[in-house]
Structure 1
Amino acid sequence: MKRWTRRPEGSNWGDFGDDDQIGRLNLITAERRLAAVAEVREGIAFPLSIPLDFPKGEYAAGPRKPPQLSSTPLGHNQQVLPGFPDVVCDDYAVLYLQYSTQWDSFAHSGSLFDLDGTGEPVVCYYNGFRADVDILGDPSGSVPPHADALGIETIAQTSVQGRGVMVDLARAVGHDRVEVGYEQLVEIMEQQDVTVEPGDILCLHTGLTKIMLEAGENLTQELMATSCAVLDSRDDRLLQWITDSGVSAIAADNHAVESFSLDPGQASGNVLPLHAHCLFKQGIPLGELWYLNDLNQWLREHGRTRFLLTAPPLRLPGAVGSPVSGVATV
């Protein structure tokens, strides 16, 4: 069922079907997975997540909080079952699903847009799914939040397994805050002999999660805001390159992949133009706060940029994001 009469300029709504909920992940076909498997030559695996209780320091005082671990009624005190030698430990956790290494679902970032051509914009999401119809919840809390469409489970069901391609931004620009636009990104990729093909998962190494881990409790918001590269999402040529490249997803080891601005008068007016372009218009999942340091170092030492990437989120129905413990195999 088509939910719109107009689609945003630069979007691919409907190209994968009127009811599509996985966007450019459709490009990870069986053929592309076989190409990814062919990148495995050594059988070495690299974990791509930071501990779920990181970042620490001032970041933990923000709106998202680290996990809270508690015991269920079954206990976590090495309880011995009466009359038996068995010992039971059993936990539950309160998780902010996008606190640490994560995937954003398409229900995470929507926009005001005139879907019906009436001149009245409505809150909507990728492929025209609508607030209060498909993505539920309100600020008052009277309606429990739930994404009846575009929830993170739709991404999980694809397995998110394909070929990862690494771009080492830290090697090119260091650890200062640099906004990397189209021309610089293309130049870096040429220097590092990086080729991206349709269906590939683009991974951007900036070095930020390594800095977070080293800072520990001493991590400050200033350090987060002034360290390591981000994509210049105000560069329209960069957004067009993302469209033309055919990448199926983008994952970075920084906080939001892109630069952050609260000035609505700039460019498209979006606070996060890359989020709007990828999650809202193109159906490209975004991964944030991944740990890419060890993998990137190995790839650099061995003159490689490609690997098998397996990174499904939690299959949690109705959630708009999820922790992810991705694995790269080389």
Structure 2
Amino acid sequence: MPACWARGAAQAAEVGISPWGPKDEIGRLNLVTPASRAAIMARVTGGAAYDLSVDYFVGMPSWQAAGDPPYLMWMTHTPHGNGVSDPMGTGKKMNEHVSYTGAAISMYSHMGTHIDALNHFGLNGKIYNGFKASEHLGDRGWDVTGAEKLPPIIARGVMIDVAAAKGVSMLPDAYRITRQDLVEALAKQKVALEKGDVVLIRTGRMQQYEKAQEYMANPPGMGLDAARFLVEDKGAMVVGADNLSFETFPSEVKDNYIPLHTYLLAEHGVPIMELVNLEGLARDKVYQFAFIGASLKLRGADAAPMRPIALPIK
């Protein structure tokens, strides 16, 4: 058990040391095993498949408060442009016969539906499992815990619809989800959490996704005690939500401006998913499912886009 799991509240936060050994780079994703994959897939009903990802488009919601770039897409080739410039040297007749469209994109790694790698946040010069930035972070990213190390995730998923449990379509601005909120929502859904679950929290904020200004403004999110409930009490493997930041602000911890990210990633090795589209699951009241998701293998990166799906289970 990592030392940080047992530390007292008065002790300063420190990075967790993995129970899976000094070379571990994926933290709680080690809970995915051949047996656990087979067990959850055996329960799939064969019904609807729910796409939990969002669209990427120019003007989409994104984190830019720290100077990170917005999503950009531009055409590198168009049928008309190829006819004028003839970049492949095929001639006008061929360009009129064979059309060619190409595009390029530029984006921050934490955009759209994505998963945070364990190097995203650290404490005191270290990230999860004691890896030091001074030793493992170079000009081309981290040589440990990069997004390329995250394995495909096939596990039991649970959606906790906090908004619905509280009788609203969307939680109000800056609402901080509590442990009791989660307990009450799970009771109403008649669902019990299990060790190794992928737990996804619905705030309802996804309904504003097309309006970036509204989506990004003062979002509701998780409180630290609620996160402790999921991780330390219930053994969640991955946590996520339909907002961008997972937690809400201002911080409830005096000496840490983003305590949930450091608690989950740096202390406990729990990856975080953000901008998860849970509206379909909420509409159909699907609370338990087989979660299947794999992220792009961006070498050395601190996050990567993913397109997860949920398959209802019996």
TM-score, normalised to structure 2, is 0.82
Q: Does 1:130 align with 2:127?
A: no
How far apart, CA to CA, are the structure 2 residues paired with 1:238 and 1:86?
Answer: 55
Per-residue displacement from partner, 1:223-274 (whole Å, max 9, x unpaired)? 731x5x42111x3x74154123221101100122222225752xxx322222
Contact 1:50 1:209 in 2 (8 A): no
Does 2:307 align with 1:325? yes
* Maintained 8 Å contact 1:40/1:307: yes
The answer to whether the 8 A contact 1:70-1:92 is kept is: yes
Separation of aligned partners in 2, 1:65 and 1:242: 32
Q: 25, 29, 33: which one pairs with 2:29?
A: 25
What letter corresponds to residue 134 of structure 1 in structure 2?
Answer: H
Q: Whole-Å Cα distance in 1 between the matches of residues 307 and 301 of structure 2?
A: 17
Contact kept, 8 Å, 1:248 with 1:284, in 2: the verdict is: yes
Task: Confirm or deny that 1:280 pairs with 2:292.
Answer: no
Cα deviation, residue 293, structure 1? 0.4
Equivalent position of 1:257 in the other structure: 246
Contact 2:62–2:111 under 8 Å retained in 1: no
Whether the aligned pair in 2 keeps the contact of 1:166 and 1:194 (CA below 8 Å) is no
Residue number in structure 2 paired with 1:43: 47
SS at match of 1:278: helix
Picking from 196, 199, 206, the partner of 2:193 is 196
SS in 1 for 2:104: strand
Q: After the TM superposition, which residues 67-82 of structure 1 pair with which residues of structure 2 at under 5 Å, given as runs?
A: 67-72=71-76, 75-77=77-79, 79=82, 81-82=90-91
Tell me, yes or no, if the aligned pair for 1:250 and 1:286 is still in contact at 8 Å. Answer: yes
Aligned AA for 1:29?
T
Specify the alignment match of 1:154 in structure 2. 149
How far 1:212 sits from its partner (Å)? 2.3
The 2-side partners of 1:96 and 1:58 are apart by 8
Maintained 8 Å contact 1:209/1:291: yes
The aligned counterpart of 1:308 is 290
Letter of the structure 2 residue corresponding to residue 196 of structure 1: L
| Conserved? CA contact 1:52–1:101, under 8 Å | no
CA distance in 1, matches of 2:27, 2:40: 20
Q: Which structure 2 residues correspond to residues 206-245 of structure 1 after superposition, within 5 A?
A: 206-213=203-210, 216=211, 219-220=213-214, 224-225=217-218, 227=219, 229-233=220-224, 235=225, 238-239=227-228, 241-245=230-234
SS in structure 2 at match of 1:287: strand
Counterpart amino acid of residue 147 in structure 1: W
Q: Could you say which residue in structure 1 is the equivalent of 2:56?
A: 52
Q: Secondary structure at the match of 1:98?
A: coil
Q: Which amino acid aligns with 1:108?
A: H
Q: Aligned partners of 1:67, 1:264: CA distance in 2, in Å?
A: 31
Q: Once superposed, what is the RMSD of the aligned Cα atoms?
A: 2.6
Matched, 1:293 2:279: yes
The answer to whether the Cα contact below 8 Å between 1:146 and 1:318 also exists between their aligned partners in 2 is yes
Report the TM-score when normalising by structure 1: 0.79
Residues 185 and 262 (structure 1), Cα distance of their counterparts in 2 relative to 1, 3 Å cut: closer
Structure 1, unpaired ranges of 5+: 1-5, 113-122, 137-143
Q: Please give the alpha-carbon distance, in whole angstroms, between the structure 2 residues aligned to 1:231 and 1:264.
A: 13
Q: Give the whole-Å Cα distance in 2 for the aligned partners of 1:40 and 1:54.
A: 36
- C-alpha change, 1:14 and 1:154, in structure 2 (3 Å) is same
Shift of 1:182: 1.6
Shift of 1:172: 1.6
- Distance in 2, matches of 1:62 and 1:248, equals 28
Which residue of the partner structure matches residue 141 of structure 1? none
The CA deviation string for residues 26-81 of structure 1, in whole angstroms up to 9 with x for no partner, is 11112221232134213311111121237647977873333222344xx3336474
| 2:141 counterpart letter in structure 1 | H
**Offset of 1:165 from its aligned partner?**
0.7
d(CA) in 1 for partners of 2:193 and 2:132?
Answer: 33
Q: CA deviation at 1:13?
A: 1.5
Q: What whole-Å deviation, never above 9, does each CA across 1:108-163 have from its counterpart, x for those lacking one?
A: 11111xxxxxxxxxx00000111121123xxxxxxx241111111111xx112222
Q: Which amino acid aligns with 2:116?
A: D
